[in-house]
């Protein structure tokens, strides 16, 4: 594959894990340096940069623009890389592109996977020059889930979609943290979806050295390990992008902190999970209605929720790192619980949150000696039915014309009746 056309050298710096830098040179092989973990301080990166520039007969003033690999990763490393890029950009008065590790891995999969062969644009395909294909399959809407190890039993996760107009990957939604114990069902669902749609793949703890370097090399040389780095792929992502706003002012050169809090102490991390059930209060109603309206064609009204509060129903919210991602409403009568509303925000669905919330509810009810849990669900909501059946709920009946639809009273949907006994076994 032909590399991007450059008018001046472009420098990329990464220190999210082990530190590296890559220097793209016009009409010459790209250069790179990979620094051992633990030696990625600013002084080592500067020494490595000066050595690379000297070997190419260049000086810092010859750098045309800079690229920051923004992470996520080591908080200390991210601050070092960002500070170095900011200092160089301000001193040289250069523009900066910011590329996340998620984008770098997605592009590495797209261009550098040894399992696929790159095919140049096919002009007879829909989209003309914008239609690039892998072995005849268009990547117009190729989506990639990237999961990176965040340590201590958690993963950074982001879903990205390829934008052929700008030839770059873009976030479908902001990255977030997912707990390792929630990944089991999610991975199987992602695999199933990928098999069915051929439009999605999951990169689970990818290794950057597994990807072939498609350009920027001496054609007679072997793949240099010094360029098999996040810095190389961050540089490639920025240089290949057709987005005119990709390079901007230095103020944009900031680390990507996926956690709301920049760093948690080990004691805080071990103290408890980042996700949990909490009591829902009327003050949460505005946030609830945002999720409710996003989730259903015929949502509950705010009046329905106020009635639930007034009737003494139990309302709980699922909170992840301080953000509400779901909620439930249930009515208790003696030793029975009727689950009236069980909702996960669409942006967090199929990621284990529903399983977690149901687990926590069942454990709570079991401890409170509730004998049976009952619910209704639309037959069209197959994902919810699978979740309930996977957790021991049985179909016990059908209630005709129970749910309203967006078509009005003339067209209503049945309700599948399900229940689960908590008397004959454990909460698990």
Query: Helical H runs in 376-424?
Result: 382-390
Query: What are 193-200's contacts with CB under 8 Å, separation 24+?
Result: 198/137, 199/141, 199/142, 199/143, 200/142, 200/143, 200/144, 200/145
Query: Helical H runs in 113-262?
Result: 183-197, 230-240
Where do we find the tokens 């399992």? 115
Query: Helical H runs in 168-301?
Result: 183-197, 230-240, 266-271, 285-295
| Catalytically annotated residues | 376, 388
How far from 185 is each of 188, 189, 236, 272, 354, CA to CA, in Å? 5, 6, 34, 22, 11
- Residue 177 is inside which H or E element, if any? strand 176-179
CA-nearest of 387, 306, 317 to 345 is 317
What's the count of helices (H) and strands (E) in the chain, helices before strands?
A: 10, 21
């Amino acid at each position: 594959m032909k590399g991007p056309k450059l008018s001046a050298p472009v420098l990329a710096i990464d220190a999210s894990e082990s530190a590296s830098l890559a220097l793209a040179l016009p009409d010459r092989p790209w250069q790179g340096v990979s620094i051992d973990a633990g030696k990625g301080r600013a002084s080592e990166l500067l020494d490595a940069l000066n050595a690379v520039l000297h070997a190419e007969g260049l000086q810092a003033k010859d750098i045309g623009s800079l690229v920051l690999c923004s992470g996520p990763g080591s908080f200390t490393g991210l601050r070092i890389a960002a500070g170095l890029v900011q200092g160089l950009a301000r001193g040289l008065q250069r523009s900066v592109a910011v590329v996340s590790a998620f984008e770098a891995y997605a592009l590495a999969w797209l261009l550098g996977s040894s399992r696929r062969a790159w095919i140049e644009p096919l002009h007879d395909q829909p989209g003309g020059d914008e239609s690039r294909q892998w072995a005849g399959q268009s990547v117009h809407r190729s989506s990639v889930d990237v999961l990176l190890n965040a340590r201590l039993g958690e993963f950074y996760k982001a879903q990205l979609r390829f934008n052929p107009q700008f030839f770059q990957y873009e976030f479908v939604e902001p990255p977030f943290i997912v707990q390792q114990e929630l990944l089991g069902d999610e991975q199987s669902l992602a695999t199933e979806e990928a098999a069915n749609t051929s439009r999605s793949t999951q990169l689970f703890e990818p290794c950057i050295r597994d990807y072939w370097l498609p350009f920027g090399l001496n054609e007679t040389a072997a793949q240099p390990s010094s360029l098999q780095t996040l810095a190389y792929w961050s540089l490639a992502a920025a240089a290949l992008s057709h987005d005119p706003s990709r390079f901007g002012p230095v103020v944009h050169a900031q680390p990507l902190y996926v956690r709301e809090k920049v760093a948690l102490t080990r004691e805080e991390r071990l103290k408890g999970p980042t996700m949990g059930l909490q009591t829902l209060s009327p003050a949460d109603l505005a946030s609830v209605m945002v999720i409710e309206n996003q989730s259903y064609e015929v949502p509950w009204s705010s009046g329905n929720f106020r009635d639930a509060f007034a009737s003494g129903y139990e309302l709980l919210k699922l909170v992840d790192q301080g953000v509400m991602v779901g909620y439930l409403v249930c009515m208790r009568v003696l030793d029975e619980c009727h689950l009236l509303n069980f909702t996960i925000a669409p942006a967090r669905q199929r990621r284990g949150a529903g399983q977690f919330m149901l687990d926590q509810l069942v454990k709570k009810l079991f401890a409170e000696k509730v004998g049976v849990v009952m619910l209704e669900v639309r037959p069209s909501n197959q994902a919810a039915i699978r979740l309930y059946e996977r957790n021991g709920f049985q179909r016990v009946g059908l209630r005709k014309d129970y749910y309203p639809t967006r078509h009005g009273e003339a067209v209503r949907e049945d309700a599948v009746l399900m229940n689960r006994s908590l008397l004959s076994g454990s909460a698990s």
